[in-house]
């Protein structure tokens, strides 16, 4: 764990980004690449907040270029930012407050289990049937 709580957040972060920066820096000691990932994570979290604020003032359905009703493009932008937050948090190995852990990390867990399994000399659980496919 880190004693790097003195690391100042990058300029331009909003309240939620600064809070996230401080919490992670108080809990972990980050190297240069991790610090860059954290910076981008905090910026993405702030961007999500800005988009949500704009969506709060806007209609969810807007007229399209041909007069048809379509979803507000900010919804797609928000979805992309949320995916970015998820990927960056996953790269850092942290979970975001309020995020559901259901299904997250499953791929990494399976790969790790397979790696552990290959590293040991365990007998096969299933014996192939002679002449079977």
- DSSP state string for 63-104: E-TTS-EEE-HHHHHHHHHHHHHHHHHHHHT---TT---TTT
**pLDDT-derived band of residue 102, with 50, 70 and 90 as boundaries?**
very low
Residues 95, 97, 98: CA angle, nearest 5 degrees: 115
Share of the chain above pLDDT 90, in %: 65
pTM to 2 decimals?
A: 0.70
């Amino acid at each position: 764990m880190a004693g790097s709580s003195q690391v100042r957040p990058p300029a331009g972060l909003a309240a939620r980004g600064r809070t996230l920066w401080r919490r992670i820096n108080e809990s972990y000691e980050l190297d240069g690449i991790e610090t860059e990932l954290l910076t981008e994570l905090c910026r993405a979290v702030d961007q999500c907040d800005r988009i949500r604020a704009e969506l709060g003032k806007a209609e969810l359905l807007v007229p399209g270029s041909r007069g048809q009703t379509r979803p507000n493009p900010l919804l797609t932008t928000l979805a992309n930012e949320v995916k970015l937050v998820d990927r960056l948090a996953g790269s850092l190995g942290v979970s975001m407050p309020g995020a559901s852990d259901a299904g997250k990390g499953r791929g990494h867990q399976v790969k790790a289990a397979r790696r552990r399994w290959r590293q040991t000399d365990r007998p096969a659980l299933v014996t192939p049937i002679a002449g079977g496919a």
